[in-house]
Structure 1
Amino acid sequence: MGLRAAAEAMRGKIAVVVGGAAGHIGRGVTLGLIDEGVEVICCDNDRDGLAAIVPEVEARGGTITALYADVEDAASLDAFYDAVAAHTDHIDILVNVPGGVARSLFEATTRESHARDIRLNYGYVVDSCHRALPLLRRSRNGGAIVNFTTIEAHRGAATFAVYAGAKAATTNFSRALAVELGKDMIRVNCLASDTSLARASNAALAPEDFARLAELGPDALGQSIEFYVPQKRPPTVEEVVDGVVFLVSDLSRTVTGTTLHVDGGTWAAFGFLDWPEGDSFMPAPLGGTLKRLSR
């Protein structure tokens, strides 16, 4: 199938975007699907974002229903899906965007923070998929689910332990569900965007991390990304959205049970950093970098 045919096939589909009104990525996913001719039903816990997304979509000539829901509250998410079922008899696409964490040593966390991290990064995804599945089954041409995960689901992410475990659960849940729903042509994939300017702004780092970076000047975060990301820059919001559009379009109609890493190569590098002072790519710094640090 070519690009033109895939684009035509997207028009008129109905998508649910959980967390689709606010934040760089959620809002971007909604607008990206709208631009492909998809009708969007989205929810968010940001009331200002909900109020802003409607006129923005209408100005693009799109159709949107924007409702309040807090994914950390199971009853709130259920109420959203009740409204979705009252609005339409089927959906074709589901995108689960929300997630988040604050960096902390595990011993400094609490039982309450564990429950929140698990709910926000795994539990609500299970509930959302469970509620959406009957509506997806009524789609005429199968369906597509995209769950946002992270590179931390694939490595030992110290200071993000519960978050990493929850995202790993989302990743393997998605893989298992893809196998279960394969015969129904309902595809289930994950997207891992890893480091992005959007995520850097949402307090994943601790305040003291940002304070130390600020002492080094406005370019410090960009310089750290150059060491870490093989392409020397994080993905833009538009590039992350392109990954979502690919996964829900007929261009990926036999892609299911996998994770698409839209990350500039960080997952491929898997800890090989481009150290300065001539050390180049290695898991640990060599003489050039160590000499510079010793100064």
Structure 2
Amino acid sequence: MSGFLDERAALGGKVAAVVGGGGGIGAGIALALARAGVDLALCDIDGEALAATGAAARQMGRAVMAMTLDATDEAALDGFYDAIEAEFPRLDILVNVAGGTKRQRLDQAGRDDIRRDIARNYGYVVQSVQRAVPLIRRSGDGGSIVNFTTIEAHRGAAGFAVYAGAKAATANFSRSMAVELGKDRIRVNCIAPDTTPSRGNMLAMPPEFAEGFARLHPAVRSKGMEMYIPRGEPPPVEALADAVLFLASDLSAFVSGTTLHVDGGTMAAAGFLEWPFGDGFVPTPLAGTLRHMYRDGEAG
């Protein structure tokens, strides 16, 4: 079966650029592509993580070019694409993973925070796609662009307003580019994760939130995920990497302009949580949960 799928996927011998491919989710994606026979051009702001990921991919026999840079630095990102053009005869796949934010209300955000959120969640994506498209066109075989957005692009994300707006822009930009590039056989899609076990997600929260969460017993920490995610657990990095493999491969040859939600069902749930103490799936806690939350709340 694996031989059949490998043949249909047709990833072997292709070249992928992964922006933010050094650590965490990006590393998982880069190494999954390498295992599928894809050569890599990687960039990341974390040079140490980037070196480790590049070394692991080379051990698999893959050609790797790696550059340490901030994707929001226009000159540095241009340099990355110049190096790809010089190093590789083709480019088939682009994955824009880099991004990030921190939780804060808009009235508490500084102008630099706002500019940074827009640049790292939308601005660099536009430049990255613009530079990648001519390189993908060189082969005449088409290609695949995968941009990371988020579930927050599809709902009102209080405390993450600028981030949510920037990611929504990335989603609609991707749909628009799918239309523009259709005749070139270049597909453009998005992946929208929700909660994932990544360092970036922890850094997005205020320190006191992260510290309080870390003090909880692991069994208690998991209860929140069981209530929030219909699957009962957050998707691992491997699940996101599998989604990229699908969208990058010929298995999705006629999938373009769409967003793939890799979230265990939270987008589908749209606010329905599986509350404990017999309340079940409802948008708001009922008597069973409320009685435990507010023990002194009963009338009389």
Shorter-chain TM-score above 0.5? yes
**Which shows bigger deviation, 173-182 or 203-212?**
203-212
**SS of the residue 1:10 aligns to:** coil
**Which shows bigger deviation, 204-213 or 220-229?**
204-213
Q: Report matched runs for 1:195-234 at 5 Å.
A: 195-198=195-198, 202-234=202-234
CA contact (8 A) 1:192 1:260 kept: yes
1:146 Cα deviation after fit? 0.1
* CA deviation vs aligned residue, 1:64-107 (integer Å, no higher than 9, x gap): 11112211211111111111111124200000001111111121
Q: Distance in 2 between matches of 1:214 and 1:20?
A: 27
- In structure 1, the residue matched to 2:16 is 15
- In structure 1, the residue matched to 2:5 is 3
- In structure 2, the residue matched to 1:52 is 52
Instruction: Give 1:292's aligned amino acid.
Output: H
Instruction: Give 1:266's aligned amino acid.
Output: T
- In structure 2, the residue matched to 1:237 is 237
- In structure 2, the residue matched to 1:261 is 261
1:200 Cα deviation after fit? 6.6
* CA deviation vs aligned residue, 1:225-278 (integer Å, no higher than 9, x gap): 111100001111111100000000000000000011111101111111111111
1:202 Cα deviation after fit? 3.7
Q: Distance in 2 between matches of 1:234 and 1:109?
A: 29
Q: Distance in 2 between matches of 1:25 and 1:6?
A: 25
Q: Distance in 2 between matches of 1:149 and 1:284?
A: 27
Q: Distance in 1 between matches of 2:213 and 2:35?
A: 37
* CA deviation vs aligned residue, 1:180-205 (integer Å, no higher than 9, x gap): 11111100000012111125754122
Q: Distance in 1 between matches of 2:15 and 2:232?
A: 36
- In structure 2, the residue matched to 1:251 is 251
Q: Distance in 2 between matches of 1:69 and 1:239?
A: 26
**SS of the residue 1:48 aligns to:** helix
**Which shows bigger deviation, 102-111 or 213-222?**
213-222
Q: Distance in 2 between matches of 1:225 and 1:205?
A: 16
1:216 Cα deviation after fit? 3.6
Instruction: Give 1:171's aligned amino acid.
Output: A
Residues 85 and 129 (structure 1 numbering): CA distance in 2 closer, same or farther, change over 3 Å? same
CA contact (8 A) 1:213 1:220 kept: no
* CA deviation vs aligned residue, 1:22-54 (integer Å, no higher than 9, x gap): 2x1000111000000011111111111122123
* Ranges in structure 2 where 5+ consecutive residues have no aligned partner: 296-300
Q: Report matched runs for 1:187-198 at 5 Å.
A: 187-198=187-198
1:210 Cα deviation after fit? 1.9
Moved over 3 A (4+): 199-202
CA contact (8 A) 1:174 1:257 kept: yes
CA contact (8 A) 1:214 1:220 kept: no
Question: What's the TM-score, normalizing by structure 1?
Answer: 0.95
Alignment partner of 1:83 is 2:83: yes
Q: Distance in 2 between matches of 1:155 and 1:127?
A: 26
Q: Distance in 1 between matches of 2:281 and 2:199?
A: 25
* Ranges in structure 1 where 5+ consecutive residues have no aligned partner: none
* CA deviation vs aligned residue, 1:93-144 (integer Å, no higher than 9, x gap): 0000011111111211111100000000000000000000100111332110
**Which shows bigger deviation, 134-143 or 183-192?**
134-143
Q: Distance in 2 between matches of 1:243 and 1:76?
A: 28
Q: Report matched runs for 1:55-134 at 5 Å.
A: 55-134=55-134
Question: What's the TM-score, normalizing by structure 2?
Answer: 0.94
- In structure 1, the residue matched to 2:298 is none
CA contact (8 A) 1:68 1:80 kept: no
RMSD: 1.5
CA contact (8 A) 2:228 2:266 kept: yes
**Which shows bigger deviation, 158-167 or 210-219?**
210-219
Instruction: Give 1:56's aligned amino acid.
Output: A
CA contact (8 A) 1:149 1:192 kept: yes
Q: Distance in 1 between matches of 2:47 and 2:214?
A: 31
Residues 51 and 215 (structure 1 numbering): CA distance in 2 closer, same or farther, change over 3 Å? closer
Alignment partner of 1:276 is 2:279: no
Residues 179 and 199 (structure 1 numbering): CA distance in 2 closer, same or farther, change over 3 Å? farther
**Which shows bigger deviation, 139-148 or 46-55?**
46-55
Instruction: Give 1:10's aligned amino acid.
Output: L
